[in-house]
A and B are shown apart, each in its own frame.
Chain A
Amino acid sequence: MASPKLRIDDVSMTFATPGGAFEALAHVTLSVPAGSFVSLIGSSGCGKSTIFNIVAGLQEPTDGRVMIDGIDATGTIGRVGYMLQKDLLLPWRTLIDNIILGMELQGVPLRQARDKALPLLRRYGLGGFEHAYPNALSGGMRQRAALLRTLLFDTDVILLDEPFGALDAQTKLQMQEWLLQLWSDFGKTVIFVTHDVEEAIFLSDEVHVMGTRPGRVVETLVVDLPRPRLRACTTTPAFMAMKERCLELLRVFQAAPVDQAA
């Protein structure tokens, strides 16, 4: 196999708190092959967001390295696309001008950036809203816009931190299928954080289950369901078994001793 697109190499993160050192991540090692879709699941406080911050260069790890295409990218920003749970659309910008933000910050001329964004906006269900302001859009549309903004930043790796966490169940299902379509169209390497086990399995090639205190990867499940996946696959025995296994792991590894709780 070729060298992985992204490699998180023995990364540890310790925070100094008034109550002593807090180990957020302990020796996390992950390899993500190019073009794959990988999920991280775990209960709150397992360090999923810390991993993302480190990969995006927003935090320096205490120990370890982040390698992108075999090159050390630890502590450098702008290497990966990062989408947070909040859409963070700027209310004073129209939808199109929000979506081109990444390109604009990289110095792409505005006209050229808009010309590139416009067809995508239309193709991915936001046609007719190019010049609308974010407050006029529904939650689902805002998340689509935020995701397109991340994609148009044009990095090979994109990090999605619970992008659909705040959406209602119906919209969430639509967005998952929409995301899979985008992923197969663009061929990006995606790392996806979620609380939703079913969402993780349905979308991913690999699911990494994380434990808390310290945050670490406790098991990796390979999802070998055929693609393109239909919603019906979520009721197959193989899917059910994986879901059971994930829930089991989460149950075992989330239980933090009460006396250690901050």
Chain B
Amino acid sequence: MTIQHMSPASGFFKWAAARVHEAGRPPGRVVRRLPVQKDWPAWAILGIQVGVLIGIITLWQVGANLGVIDAFFWSKPSAIFNTLTIFFTTGEAWTDIGFTFRSTIMGFVIGTTAGSLLGLSFWWSRNYAAIVQPYIICFESLPKLALAPLVVLVFGIGLSSKIAIATALTVVVSTLTTYAGVKAIDPDGERLFYSLGATRLQVFRKLVVPSCLPWIISVLRVNIGLALTGAVVGEFIASQHGLGRAILYAGQTYDIALVWVAVSVLSALAMIMYVSVSWLERILRKGVRQ
């Protein structure tokens, strides 16, 4: 078999197959097929997901009824459901949700905005960036939640201390990511702008800010989670409202069902915010075409 006899499309494979056929299986070489993974239909995936959830809840309920699971420590789904109804009909559910939601959103907005502006400001002066950078890195490595008691002392037990903690958690990530975006700007892009006679302000507005936008956007989802953590920890330390306070209070009074209710509401809130931010992110990304 020679080169000339090969058809262009499948030539190599025919040739390879013929070689294997002629020589038998070469010693020491295992012949394998390409592993192929088949995708299941979406309804099957969703069905299994729902099935697993129902299965866990059922096992929990049955286990608690039979005494295999200690309902004092773990509570049980039926009790949790009852508490949930009471929580929303008689309790301060909406006050708590509103409180946690507000401090999370405020902390998220303030932290992300301030961090992005700070990161962008480093473009203006390399000297200024070099001076400030160690402080930023120091603040990043600091476990900021350890400062939470101090923050509560300074800002009081109201909304502002929760906002402050949520801001402290979000601002650093935004700053560092935006600064990474600033450093990633193609110097040739700046040369182009200056060769067209641009001022520094023009370069900043028309090149630096749009180039960094994708970086700023990429932090949004991380920050919404961090802001929520900050708000809840703030409520743990001292608060009169909020889902964090509800969880702490329920735990201290051995109302385990209420712990589960508050945690579920919290995760529902987290999910709603996460989905909204992802949606916001998609829209923004379309806006900046990247």
Contacts and interface: CB of A to CB of B under 8 A. Distances in A.
Chains A and B bind each other: yes
Interface of A: 53, 56-58, 77-82, 84, 86, 88, 90-92, 101-102, 104-106, 133, 135, 153
Contacts of B186: 86, 88
Given A84-B192, A105-B202, A77 B197 contact: yes
B195 A92 contact: no
A92 B197 contact: no
Nearest to B191: A58
Contacts of A57: 194-195
Contacts of A90: 189, 206-207, 210
B192 A88 contact: yes
Contacts of A56: 195
Interface of B: 186, 188-189, 191-198, 202, 206-207, 210, 213, 287-290
Interface of B is mostly: helix
B85 to A, nearest CB: 50
Given A91-B290, A92-B290, A58 B194 contact: yes
Contacts of A82: 191-192, 195-196
A9 B195 CA distance: 20
Contact of B210 (A78, A80, A92, A104): A92
Contacts of A80: 195
Given A88-B186, A88-B188, A92-B210, A135 B195 contact: no
A67 B188 CA distance: 24
A151 to B, nearest CB: 12
Nearest to A55: B195
B192 A92 contact: no
A104 B196 CA distance: 10
Given A84-B188, A86-B188, A77 B194 contact: yes
B193 A84 contact: no
Given A90-B210, A91-B289, A91-B290, A153 B192 contact: no
A92 B213 CA distance: 10
B245 to A, nearest CB: 44
B49 to A, nearest CB: 36
Contacts of A104: 206
A243 to B, nearest CB: 31
A92 B289 contact: yes
Contact of A101 (B194, B196, B213, B289): B196
